[in-house]
Chains A and B, each alone.
Chain A
Amino acid sequence: MSVGERRKAGWFVRITILVVVLIWIFPAAGVLITSFRPEAASESTGWWTSLAHPFRAGEWTIENYRSVLDAGGFKNALLNSLAVVLPSTVIPITIAAFAAYAFSWMEFRGRQVMFVLVVALMVVPLQMALIPILRLYTGGGELFGMTVFPDLDLNGTFLGIWLAHTAFGLPLATYLLRNYIGSLPSSIIESAKIDGADHFTIFTRLIVPLSVPALAAFTIFQFLWVWNDLLVAYVFLGGTRDNQVVTIALQGLAGSRGQSWHLLTSAAFVTMALPLVVFFSLQRYFVRGLTAGAVKG
């Protein structure tokens, strides 16, 4: 028993953990608390002073959120972020799931080579893709005098950014899903084939339901990645007030109103709210998705 006792946390370990946790939540707590303080207060005193008299009249306000959402354009930005994030998550996962099924359970020439290519593409920095894709979007692409990519003027459109996010998420999604789908027992697929099911039926009725854990993990990873992305949105969607997503809006606000802390903090919290909800409600999948997705390039 004494051996087991020694492993248990003493007061030193407990206090160390407590201190580290407090340090870690301190920055976010500052943002949250400042975002509910009136402008005059956040300009003149540190946010921690509010903790001394939290119930004083006029100590808290939601006015900051109102002005950020309406006049600040964050309501519109939230909507745009949703319009970017939902298709940018569903499209790559659908395409990757079909591809992963083929890589796992179909025979075709070049299968191994193609999959090695997918593995290699996983860590390519997306900086390598920005310039050529932007050129395709603004001028189309030609190969030996033939138009292979029409000039659709995709720059600044939702379609343009979905395609970019789809491509950047695809290698990882295909890799993860192939590992999962490939490890399903072959007996169930064989017996479905004997029952006369074709590949499309096997995929939609059998593989997709069985792969829910892997699909959920990647969905969460990609959702967060796209929601929190600044670079891709900055290059392909741009910073016009109509089109901007929440990260762009926040970056713009930090540039133009860098000292208006009552606005900056509430805007920051608006951008964080949805990821935090996802984090707290789907924590298990969330951790699995993020740790699996760490390989992304």
Chain B
Amino acid sequence: MSDGPETQAVPTTDPAPAGAARWARLLGAVAVVVGLPLLARWAYTFMKDGDANRFAVVGVAILLGVLGVFALFWLMDEIVDRLPHGWREGARPYVFVGPALVILSVFLIYPVVNTVILSFKDRSGDSWVGLDNYRFVFTDESMLRSLRNTGLWIVVVPAVALTIGLLFATLADRLQRGESLAKSLIFLPMAISFVGAAVTFRLIYSYRPAGFGTNIGVLNAIWQGLGNEPVPWLTEKPWNNLMLMVIMVWMQTGFAMVVLSSAIKAIPEEITEAARIDGATEWQVFRHITIPSILPTIVVVTTYMVINALKVFDIVFVMGSPENNGTEVVAERMLTWFFLRNNDGYGAAVAVVLFLAVIPVMVWNVRRFRAEEAIR
């Protein structure tokens, strides 16, 4: 470990460093204490100034965001160094975890509590309305459709993505070469946004009624090539829901495949070879050795894909008019009611429904963590 001159000058055990260095550090600390808030204030006003040069604003934003945080930790640590000797090491851990705890409290813990409270209040959060918002969630026609659709999403998407991913991982495992390329290409859609994927598939589903020009969407081109009338895939109820789910399957299969592939590769070669020598067919090996060995991984992958599908919003939102098309999903309803229709009460109640759905996973995570800690 190479120590810079700065850290050697002030080891924590030495309460009185040499005079000049001490003054320099004190001045530096004062400059930081005074300068940092001033700088932050200037940057805050600057970044809100609509007329300022975009490049300059972005530059300040990046510099402040990146350097500001590190400076904050450094400053707090310096302050702790100046505390009475006995307090220092007691206070220091809170310097390290403090910012994380403050942010989690303000931006996650308080909001969770607040959202639950707001779900019992009216649209502006002023007066109590009892269970009215929840009554809306479970009686409104469009809400009910969103619950049904989300129910379908969390079953269909993980099931299809997992099946394709598992089969592909198993088959690709046998390629002599090209395995990593093939896996990369399946994984690639994970890199792009839901919005980008939605636009990509809008092109595929693009529709022009017969007599209104050539269909430039590949699905209708094939469909017409087979001698059928063109179909408006995205408005054809209820199948349009499946058309949207295809997009998420396209995006998530790569994830399932990569994770399962590494689990499959972790199965000891001796076990599968022994089974083959005993005359097991490839299907029997897959069914009785591969699947049971990777079952824990399958459970984890499924859980996370279910959570993802539960919160799907962008795809439906970008495709447009979910209410007319009957493609509402719960997370999309939440945004629609809270943000577009300014009803915080409805929005909060819908969010709480999502939250309740993930609580089992939360409990499971904590339990699993506790069990792991017990072994450590």
Contact = CB atoms under 8 A, between A and B. Distances in A.
Query: What interface size band does chain A fall in?
Result: 35 or more
Top 4 A-B residue pairs of the complex, sorted by shortest distance between their CB atoms: A87-B65, A167-B107, A228-B193, A102-B96
Interface in A248-297: 250-251, 254-255, 258, 261, 264-265, 267-268, 271-272, 275-276, 278-279, 283, 286-287, 290-291, 294-295, 297
A24 B185 contact: yes
A297 B354 CA distance: 11
Main secondary structure of the interface of B (DSSP, over half): helix
Contact of B94 (A7, A108, A149, A206): A108
A290 B112 contact: no
Given A98-B99, A163-B103, A254-B198, A20 B168 contact: yes
A116 B47 contact: no
Main secondary structure of the interface of A (DSSP, over half): helix
A244 interface: no
A235 to B, nearest CB: 6
Nearest to A20: B168
Interface residues of B, number: 125
Nearest to A32: B200
A230 B174 contact: no
B311 interface: yes
A121 B313 CA distance: 21
A174 interface: yes
B174 A8 contact: yes
A70 interface: no
A62 interface: no
A27 B107 contact: no
Contact of A276 (B191, B206, B258, B308): B191
Most chain A CB within a 10 A radius of its CB, from B93, B186, B344? B93
Given A83-B61, A279-B188, A290-B190, A271 B196 contact: yes
B176 interface: yes
Nearest to A136: B106
Contact of A231 (B191, B217, B335, B355): B335
B216 interface: yes
B199 A254 contact: yes
Contacts of B204: 27, 30
A158 B44 CA distance: 9
Interface in A146-204: 149, 152-153, 157-159, 162-164, 166-168, 170-171, 174, 192, 195-201, 203
Contacts of A291: 255, 258-259
B30 interface: no
A283 B171 CA distance: 21
B358 interface: yes
A46 interface: yes
A28 B66 contact: no
B338 A131 contact: yes
Contacts of B361: 123
Interface stretch (B16-24, B52-60, B139-147): B52-60
A195 B175 CA distance: 53
A101 interface: yes
B104 A117 contact: yes
A265 B171 contact: no
Most chain B CB within a 10 A radius of its CB, from A48, A76, A122, A200? A200
Interface stretch (A51-59, A88-96, A211-219): A88-96
B174 A128 contact: no
Nearest to A192: B1
Contacts of B65: 86-88, 90-91, 158, 162
A83 B62 CA distance: 6
A154 to B, nearest CB: 9
Nearest to A163: B107
Contacts of B276: 3, 6-7
B162 interface: no
Contacts of B365: 119-120, 122-123, 295
A45 B216 contact: yes
Contacts of A250: 193, 195-196, 199
A196 B213 CA distance: 78
Interface string B90-134: 101110110111011011111110110010000001000000000
21 contacts: A3-B273, A8-B176, A24-B189, A24-B253, A76-B54, A102-B93, A108-B94, A114-B97, A122-B362, A124-B112, A125-B331, A127-B355, A129-B111, A130-B338, A135-B114, A170-B100, A228-B194, A242-B50, A254-B199, A264-B199, A276-B191
Interface stretch (B6-14, B236-244, B287-295): B6-14
B108 A129 contact: yes
